[in-house]
């Protein structure tokens, strides 16, 4: 999938005018790219559109308009755009109650390394987590992690040819799996690998 450049971004002024419509488009797009794994973990599979939105929002929030600042954001978020050999996802650990969330994050240290995808007929592929910075300590994990799944060419070929894709987490305190990702998500992920 093609990486983003400055030509793909709107100026802060232009983005202010387009933001509401673009946000609606991206939120709808994200719904089709989201996978719930158990009651408290959601994987949002990233792509070029989701990263364009993320960059635009960062530029807006931080009021970044200088060339180097924009390039820094592009460098950071382009790493989360999948290519023909990998899929990327943002993992969100979600608890509405703050005290419950704090308790859970202490019990889920290392969960980001226990997330897997599996194409039928192949071994599980575990995520490479948080390449930009460590988001866990010995005492707790973060509620957000960035994951990359490197898929061998044979696995990509089988997936694109119709093999089922499953997903899961096998952490001592959180073990759940999804036997087959929904059809709409599957189609979107196949496109990511093209």
**pLDDT tens sequence across 64-97:** 999 999 999 999 899 889 988 999 999 999 999 9
Strand 125-126 and strand 144-150: pairing?
unpaired
86 and 73 share a domain? no
118 and 178 share a domain? yes
53 and 108 share a domain? no
**pLDDT tens sequence across 131-172:** 776 777 789 999 999 999 999 999 999 999 999 999 999 999
143 and 171 share a domain? yes
Host domain of residue 54: 1-31+48-81
CA distance 8 to 192: 18
92 and 10 share a domain? no
Residue 193's domain is classified under what CATH number? 2.60.40
The model scores a pTM over 0.85: yes
Quote the pLDDT of residue 136. Answer: 77
Are 10 and 18 in contact by the 8 Å Cβ rule? The answer is yes
Q: What distance, in Å, lies between the first and last C-alpha atoms of the chain? A: 7
CA-based R_g, the chain, Å:
17
């Amino acid at each position: 999938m093609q990486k983003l450049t400055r030509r793909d971004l709107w100026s802060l002024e232009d983005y202010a005018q387009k933001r509401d419509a673009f946000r609606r488009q991206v939120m709808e797009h994200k719904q089709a790219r989201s996978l719930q794994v158990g009651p408290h973990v959601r994987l949002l599979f990233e792509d070029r559109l989701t990263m364009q939105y993320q960059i635009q929002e960062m530029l807006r929030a931080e009021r970044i308009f200088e060339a180097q600042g924009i390039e820094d954001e592009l460098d950071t978020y382009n790493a989360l755009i999948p290519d023909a050999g990998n899929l990327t996802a943002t993992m969100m650990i979600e608890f509405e109650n703050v005290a419950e969330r704090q308790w859970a994050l202490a019990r889920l240290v290392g969960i980001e390394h226990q997330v897997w995808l599996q194409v039928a007929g192949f071994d599980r592929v575990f995520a490479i987590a948080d390449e930009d910075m460590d988001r866990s300590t010995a005492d707790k994990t973060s509620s957000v992690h960035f994951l990359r799944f490197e898929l061998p060419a044979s696995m990509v070929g089988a997936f694109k040819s119709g093999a089922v894709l499953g997903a899961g987490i096998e952490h001592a305190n959180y073990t759940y799996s999804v036997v087959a990702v929904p059809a709409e998500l599957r189609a979107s992920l196949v496109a990511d690998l093209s």
